[in-house]
Structure 1
Amino acid sequence: MRVTTPTRDLVAEEDEVGRVVLINNGPYSGKLCIVVDVVDQNRALVDCPNTGVPRQALNFKWMALTDLKVKLPRGARSKYVRKAFEDEQVADNWSKTAWAKRIARFERRETLSDFDRFKIKQLKQKKSHVIRREFNKLKKAT
């Protein structure tokens, strides 16, 4: 699964710990995890037992930083990461973002059959026809 990500600049290292990231490459692509520590300028130690991502060093090129952040000490153990993820309701807050909604929309569209796509096209055409008709009525009235 290819995850589309907006371009973001990396923030300073002290601001990284506790940052929620979306993995966009590799076997855990599309899953959220939390930065536990910054290994060097290219890699970070990430962990999230809630989403099934094991503790591992991950390249910054393989992840996209989100605006979400949890309060964690540097090098926090997995049980504290799990607790912080649940306490700050990261999954719920993520699902409310426009980014997550966009990914969900793409995934939903991938599962449509030909007939479903045809029905959607027909509905869009009907909607467009109604809007165009009402617009032209208003245009004539003025």
Structure 2
Amino acid sequence: METAQSLATVVESRENSVEFAVLVRRQRKSRSQKTLRTALVPRRLSLVHGPPAPQGTRNSSPDHQPFTYSRQEHQHRILFPTAHTDEMGDAEITTSAWRLVEVGRVVLFNEGPFEGRLAAIVEIIDHKRVLIDGPSEKAPIPRQEVALAKLSLTPIVIPKLPRASGVGHVAKKWEEHKVQQKFDESAWAKKRAAMQKRRGLNDFERFKVMKMRKQARFEVQKTFAKIRASAKA
């Protein structure tokens, strides 16, 4: 009998201990969730609603009474600070400085049998191809379809050239605006001519260029040395 009572006591104590452990775990879990909730809720409110609505006056006149912004108006003022001002911002609108693909634009061939020659865009086929015509007497190009990847846009434009103009009209406008002469006088053409001339030199001519560059560099260094010496004195 005593053994049965002792066993019942042990079982009851174990059940009580298990229930107590479960209760402790529940309390800890609810406490941690409550702490997390109280830590996150103010931040959520501050992110959604922003800082508290300010009080003030619409202007400094004493006739106006203090007022309080509504929450929606305050949020709108935070998102769009210049929307409620009486002064308008100064906007300076300028045209684009890019060279546009347009009818009348003079282009330069980068590759192919017509490399280095000029032509004018007569018609735009799509975003990758154009119809060009090169009526230059120096280096003529027959009218053909060319990919834009093979061309370079120059700053020269034949103004008011009609779309799909005939060969004779394009040649007339070409001579009228002196397209070839303008390009030959540009720094781009001079640099290309210098590169082509340098590319065509033989070994002895390259050696002479090297010696001349070395001599010019020596003269520059000597002049700078004289200036430094006179400055120290």
TM-score category (smaller protein): 0.7 to 0.9
Query: Which of residues 211, 214, 219 is equivalent to 1:125?
Result: 214
Distance 1:25 1:114 in 2: 26
Work out which of the two has the higher radius of gyration on C-alpha atoms and give 1 or 2: 2
Note closer, same or farther for the CA distance 1:137–1:95 as it changes in structure 2 (3 Å cut): same
Identity of aligned residues (%): 34
The CA distance in 1 between the partners of 2:181 and 2:230, in whole Å, is: 48
Structure that is richer in helix per residue: 2
CA distance in 2, matches of 1:127, 1:41: 48
Structure 1 runs (4+) deviating above 3 angstroms are none
- The aligned residue for residue 59 of structure 1 is 147
Which residue is 1:28 aligned to? 114
Q: Higher RCO, 1 or 2 (CA under 8 Å, sep at least 6)?
A: 1
The equivalent residue for 2:183 is 94
Residues 134 and 142 in structure 2, CA contact (< 8 A), matched pair in contact too? yes
In the TM superposition, 1:42-81 aligns within 5 A as 42-50=128-136, 51-71=139-159, 72-81=161-170
- 1:52 offset after TM fit, Å? 1.7
Q: CA deviation at 1:10?
A: 6.1
The letter for the 2-side match of 1:97 is S
CA deviations over 1:4-24 (Å, ceiling 9, x no partner)? xxxxx662x6xx000000011
The answer to which of 104-113 and 124-133 deviates more is 124-133
Contact in 1 for aligned 2:109/2:150 (Cα 8 Å) = yes
| 1:12-71 CA-partner distances (Å, limit 9, x unpaired) | x6xx00000001122212110000010111111100122321111111111111110013
For 1:24, the aligned partner's letter is: N
Mark the runs of 5 or more structure 1 residues left unpaired by the alignment.
1-8
Counterpart AA for 1:125: K
Contact 2:107 2:120 in 1 (8 A): yes
AA of the residue aligned to 1:39: I
**Would you say 1:85 and 2:174 are equivalent positions?**
yes
After TM superposition, the score normalised by the length of structure 2 is 0.54
TM-score by length of 1: 0.86
Distance 2:110 2:219 in 1: 41
Please give the per-residue CA displacement for 1:59-117, whole angstroms capped at 9, x wherever unaligned.
11111111100131111000111111111111110012221111111110012111111
Number of residue pairs aligned between Structure 1 and Structure 2? 132
Secondary structure of the corresponding residue to residue 121 of structure 2: strand
CA RMSD of aligned residues (A): 1.7
- Rounded to whole Å, the distance in 2 between the matches of 1:93 and 1:114 is 34
